């Protein structure tokens, strides 16, 4: 029996394809990473079906590439080897459980941010999850496992920190659990006190198995949310002010972006240029309170920090949302929605990329000014993005590039991104949602013991090397 | 009526004025104006040209019909309704050069701005 026939016997003919059109669709993403076609695409519906697929692949040594929506900016679902089978998990889309008391949700891979939001609004309205810098139709599970950022990251960290536990199919076909649900269902409250085996799957980009269920923390929905905009000049003054605001634990979220991005949201046509005298950065601040007074008090404190900053640069400006709504009109909402609605401006062309890194706060100013010089040298639009993370313990920064995918521009993007990453690595920043080329550069700079440990764990879990081979350059 | 400006303050002006300029009667009136206003801010100056419509450009020009000076924070106070153009003129937050030489242009610009600031 051929591999295709075996897969059809598991999921049915409708959910297996080796057609040219399907292979093409699954061969690329928006980034400059080189495309590669899988040999076949299969779409299981259940854990049992997926387990059977993994067992066959392990026996026949067939490379498997996990896929949900393919919206990442890192080429993460592009096969790296020949004859790979892309396993599209979007049919596994059950919200298994929401626990209102311990505030968590257990979901399958195909559950999107949109699904979860709708479900919570209907069934658990006092709770909220979060949304990523991605469209609402991206996977909750994939974003958490890839340790991405979200609209609660300034306060609570990367989405990987929200994982309470998971269920996974190992490359050898066994089903395992990590976290408190090792004691049984209805008990996904946390990861401790245990050896933290979530780490065998979080950040691995599907190299260690298929995660079939994940428990993620939910949060109480605050009654009052306020937004404000901060317009600032200079990389160091901007980041110093942001650090002060974030460190005071006043904000749920801060999205600091080049003013060009704000202008894009206003509808300025490409290429968006920087004009002398414009603020360098526009930062959207989100703060909340259980009562209005709490939110107002937080805002007042931020005002005093900005007033202090104005002693050195009188043009630093905090603007409340009522004024922003009048000044920016309908586009003010686009700014608030930017993280989940970003793609409407970012997909001006068919290409979109960035090198996202997590970085020590002491390097933020240098990272923004150095990265800016690189982007300007290559002549791309200036689209820096910085977010204080996890109550100011670190930050995320990146330079976003939107580009037409002609050969010359793609080559220029590759050079620019390489230079940006080299610069970030020189500041000891760590790339996240790492494309293969970036992971290889990281390994050249990282502690060799760490790289050796990765290889050893991978070999132990996946002796036949079927799970996403070539990913991370391992 | 208004070509989308490429700069930040130009865009803010475009959005603020879009409401009164959406009224056909007012749009026709403005289309007949012929004057140039430079708005100097603490960020940068913009030039607003009225000539068969309205166009906002980044930068300054010599000898405009009117030269208006205001900090962006004052413009925001105006937008929020915390002050009025007249009050801002009286307390020095808003300065206008050319009032005496071009009273009609001043009145026209005031009319546009006050209609734009209406809630």
At residue A339, the pLDDT reads 75
- A-chain residues near B56 (CB < 8 A): none
Q: Would you call A47 an interface residue with chain B, using a CB distance cutoff of 8 Å?
A: no
Report chain A residues whose CB lies below 8 A from the CB of B43: 277-279, 315
What is the pLDDT, as a whole number, of residue A345?
A: 86
Q: Return d(Cα B15, Cα A355) in angstroms, integer.
A: 34
Inter-chain residue contact B76 with A327, CB threshold 8 Å: yes
CATH fold group of domain B8-117: Nonspecific Lipid-transfer Protein; Chain A (3.30.1050)
Between CA B56 and CA B58 the distance in angstroms is 7
- Across the interface, of B4, B18, B58, the residue whose CB is closest to A275 is B58
Domain spans, chain B: 8-117
A143-174 pLDDT per residue, tens? 999 999 999 999 999 999 999 999 999 999 99
Handedness of CA A92, A93, A96, A98 (dihedral sign): positive
Q: What is the pLDDT of residue A351?
A: 96
CB–CB contact B8 A275 (8 Å): yes
**Nearest-neighbour CA in chain A from B52: distance (Å):** 22
**pLDDT single digits (tens) B38-91:** 999 999 999 999 999 999 999 999 999 999 999 999 999 999 999 999 999 999
Q: CB distance A268–B43 less than 8 Å? A: no
Task: Quote the pLDDT of residue A432.
Answer: 92
Cα A36 to Cα A95, A253, A403: the distances in Å are 32, 37, 20
What pLDDT is recorded for position A338?
A: 82
Using pLDDT thresholds of 50, 70 and 90, give the confidence band for residue A341. confident
Whether residue B1 has pLDDT greater than 60: no
Does the distance separating the beta carbons of B73 and A317 come in below 8 Å? yes
Kindly report, residue by residue over A229-267, the tens digit of the pLDDT: 999 999 999 999 999 999 999 999 999 999 999 999 888
Chain B nearest-CA residue for A267: B4
Residues 202-261 of A with CB under 8 A from B: 259
A215 DSSP β-pair partners: A106, A165
Q: Provide the terminal-to-terminal Cα distance of chain B, rounded to the nearest Å.
A: 21
Give me the pLDDT at residue A134, please. 87
Using the Cβ of A267 and the Cβ atoms of chain B, whether some distance falls under 8 Å is answered with yes
CA angle (A404 as vertex; A398, A407 as ends), nearest 5: 105
Residue range A409-424: mean pLDDT, rounded: 98
Question: How many Å apart are CA A232 and CA A238, to the nearest integer?
Answer: 6
> Cβ B15–A327 below 8 Å, yes or no?
yes
Whether A441 contacts A182, CB under 8 Å: no
**pLDDT value at residue A128:** 95
Contacts of B18 in chain A (CB under 8 A): 329
**Closest chain A residue to B118, measured at CA:** A326
Nearest chain B CA: its distance from A412 CA (Å): 25
- pTM exceeds 0.90 for this model: yes
A268 → closest Cβ in B4, B16, B79: B4
What is the mean predicted confidence (pLDDT) over A185-204? Answer: 97
ipTM above 0.90, yes or no: yes
Strand blocks (E) in B1-119: 34-40, 46-51, 54-58, 66-70, 94-97
| Contact between chains at A259 and B8 (C-beta distance less than 8 A) | yes
Nearest to A268 among B11, B43, B80 (CB): B11
Question: Are B6 and A268 in contact (CB < 8 Å)?
Answer: yes
Average pLDDT for residues A48-69, to the nearest whole number?
98
Nearest to B76 among A314, A323, A331 (CB): A323
Nearest-angstrom CA–CA distance, B26 and A27: 55
Residues of chain A contacting residue B4, judged by C-beta atoms under 8 Å apart: 267-269
Taking only the tens place, the pLDDT of each residue in A343-375 is: 778 888 999 999 999 999 999 999 999 999 999
**CA-CA distance, A21 to A262, in Å (whole number)?**
37
Estimate to the nearest angstrom the gap between the alpha carbon of A210 and the chain centroid.
18
Looking at residues A410-419, what average pLDDT do you find? Answer: 98
Counting Cα atoms < 13 Å in the Cβ hemisphere of B7 gives 19
Report the CATH number of the A95-220 domain.
3.30.465.10
User: So what's the architecture of A3-90 in CATH?
Assistant: 2-Layer Sandwich (3.30)
A15-29 residue pLDDT tens: 999 999 999 999 999
Q: Say what percent of chain A tops pLDDT 90.
A: 92
Residue B72 to residue A317, Cβ atoms within 8 A: yes
Inter-chain touch A327–B79, beta carbons under 8 Å: yes
Please tell me the distance in Å from B62's CA to the nearest CA on chain A: 18
> Which residue among B6, B11, B45 places its CB closest to the CB of A273?
B6
What CATH number has the domain spanning A224-434? Answer: 3.40.462.10
Closest chain A C-alpha to B97 CA, distance in angstroms? 22
């Amino acid at each position: 029996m051929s591999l295709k026939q075996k897969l059809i016997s598991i999921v049915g003919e409708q959910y297996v394809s080796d057609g040219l059109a399907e292979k093409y669709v699954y061969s690329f993403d928006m980034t400059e990473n080189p495309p590669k076609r899988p040999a076949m695409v299969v779409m299981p519906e259940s854990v049992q079906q997926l387990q059977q697929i993994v067992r066959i692949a392990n026996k026949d040594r067939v490379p498997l590439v996990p896929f949900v929506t393919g919206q990442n900016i890192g080429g993460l679902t592009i096969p790296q080897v020949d004859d790979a089978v892309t396993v599209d998990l979007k049919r596994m889309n059950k919200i298994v459980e929401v626990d209102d008391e311990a505030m968590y949700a257990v979901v399958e891979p195909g559950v999107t941010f949109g699904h979860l939001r709708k479900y919570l609004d209907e069934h658990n309205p006092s709770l909220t999850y979060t949304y990523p810098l991605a469209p609402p139709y991206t996977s909750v599970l994939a974003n958490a496992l890839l340790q991405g950022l979200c609209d609660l990251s300034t306060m609570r960290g990367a989405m990987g920190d929200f994982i309470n536990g998971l269920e996974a199919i190992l490359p050898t076909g066994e089903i395992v659990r990590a976290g408190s649900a090792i004691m049984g269902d209805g008990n996904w409250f946390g990861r401790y006190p245990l050896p933290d085996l979530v780490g065998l799957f979080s950040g691995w980009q599907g190299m260690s198995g298929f995660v079939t269920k994940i428990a993620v923390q939910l949060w109480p929905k605050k009654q009052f949310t306020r937004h404000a905009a901060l317009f600032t000049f200079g990389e160091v003054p901007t980041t110093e002010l942001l650090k002060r605001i974030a460190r005071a634990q006043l904000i749920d979220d801060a999205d600091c972006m080049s003013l060009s991005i704000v202008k894009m949201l206003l509808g300025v046509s490409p290429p968006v240029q920087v004009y002398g005298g414009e603020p360098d950065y526009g930062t959207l601040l989100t703060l909340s309170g259980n009562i209005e007074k709490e939110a107002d008090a937080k805002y007042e404190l931020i005002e005093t920090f900005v007033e202090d900053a104005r002693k050195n640069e009188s043009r630093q400006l905090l603007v409340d949302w009522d004024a922003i709504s009048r000044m920016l009109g309908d586009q003010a909402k686009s700014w608030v929605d930017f993280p989940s609605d970003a793609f409407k401006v970012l997909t001006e062309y068919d290409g979109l990329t960035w090198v996202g890194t997590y970085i020590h706060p002491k390097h933020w100013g240098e990272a923004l000014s150095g990265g800016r010089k690189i982007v300007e040298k290559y002549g791309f639009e200036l689209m820096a993005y910085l977010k204080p993370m996890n109550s100011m313990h670190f930050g995320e920064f990146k330079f976003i590039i939107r580009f037409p995918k002609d050969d010359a521009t793609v080559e220029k993007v590759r050079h620019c991104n390489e230079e940006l990453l080299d610069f970030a690595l020189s500041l000891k920043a760590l790339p996240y949602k790492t494309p293969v080329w970036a992971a290889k550069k990281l390994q050249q700079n990282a502690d060799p013991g760490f790289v050796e440990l990765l290889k050893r764990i991978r070999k132990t879990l996946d002796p036949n090397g079927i799970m996403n081979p070539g990913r991370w350059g391992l | 009526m208004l070509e989308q400006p490429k700069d930040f303050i130009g865009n803010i002006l475009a959005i603020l004025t879009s409401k009164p300029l959406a009224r056909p009667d007012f749009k026709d009136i403005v289309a007949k104006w012929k004057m140039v206003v430079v708005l100097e801010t603490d960020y940068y100056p913009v030039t607003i040209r009225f000539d068969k419509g309205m166009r906002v450009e980044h930068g300054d020009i010599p000898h405009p019909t009117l030269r208006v000076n205001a900090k962006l924070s004052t413009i925001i106070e105006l937008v929020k309704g915390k002050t009025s153009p007249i009050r801002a003129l009286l307390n020095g937050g808003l300065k206008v050069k050319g009032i005496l030489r071009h009273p009609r242009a001043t009145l026209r610009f005031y009319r546009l701005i006050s209609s734009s600031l209406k809630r």
